[in-house]
Amino acid sequence: MKSIFDTINAAEITERMAQLSEKSIPEWGTMQVSQMLAHCSAFHDIPLGNAFPPRGLLGRLIGRFAKPMFYNDKPLPHNMSTIPTIIIDDQRQFMAEKEKIEQQINIFQQGASEKFSRHPHPFFGKLTAEQWGKGIYKHLDHHLKQFGV
């Protein structure tokens, strides 16, 4: 499985993001492209230690059993539910959100995994830096495919 910590994989994600525009339309789901970027950025804030969403009851009960789906090679299903605190339903500025993710990718490339928050994923629970790296890549890949890139 690819990881956002790998320079080649991070460059691939950045190149695909460069193909997005404010007019990009989703192939599934209801998010606008700027909302998708804000959603991904909000997700990255968890391992970076900038957000600390609580664990829900369902995650506490079954999250550890479902954890491999976050970092294995199988694609994420379309329209799956997400962490409530990273649902973005307001209008966002496309370029600002895109730049924020690019900055986060740079942070990931500068050894952020060593400084990752110990705060658990709200559904899957405790993750290693390696699992976070794979999951972040997989999440970005999923949403870039959602917008056809």
Q: Per-residue pLDDT tens for 56-79?
A: 999 999 999 999 999 999 999 999
Phi-psi category of residue 85: left, alpha or beta, with phi > 0 → left and psi -120 to 50 → alpha: alpha
How many DSSP H helices and E strands does the chain contain?
6, 0
Position 133 in a domain: yes
What is the C-alpha separation between 138 and 91, in angstroms, rounded? 25
pLDDT band at 26 (very low <50, low <70, confident <90, very high): very high
In the prediction, which pLDDT does 71 show? 95
What is the C-alpha separation between 93 and 32, in angstroms, rounded? 11
What is the C-alpha separation between 39 and 87, in angstroms, rounded? 6
Closest by Cα among 123, 111, 80, 86 to 10: 111
Position 61 in a domain: yes
Position 91 in a domain: yes
Q: How many domains does the chain have?
A: 1
Query: Percent of the chain scored above 90 by pLDDT?
Result: 89
Position 141 in a domain: yes
pLDDT band at 110 (very low <50, low <70, confident <90, very high): confident
Note down the domain range covering 97: 7-15+25-146
Position 110 in a domain: yes
pLDDT band at 99 (very low <50, low <70, confident <90, very high): very high
Position 20 in a domain: no
Q: What is the DSSP letter of 107?
A: H
The pTM score is 0.94
Q: What is the DSSP letter of 38?
A: H
Position 107 in a domain: yes
Position 129 in a domain: yes
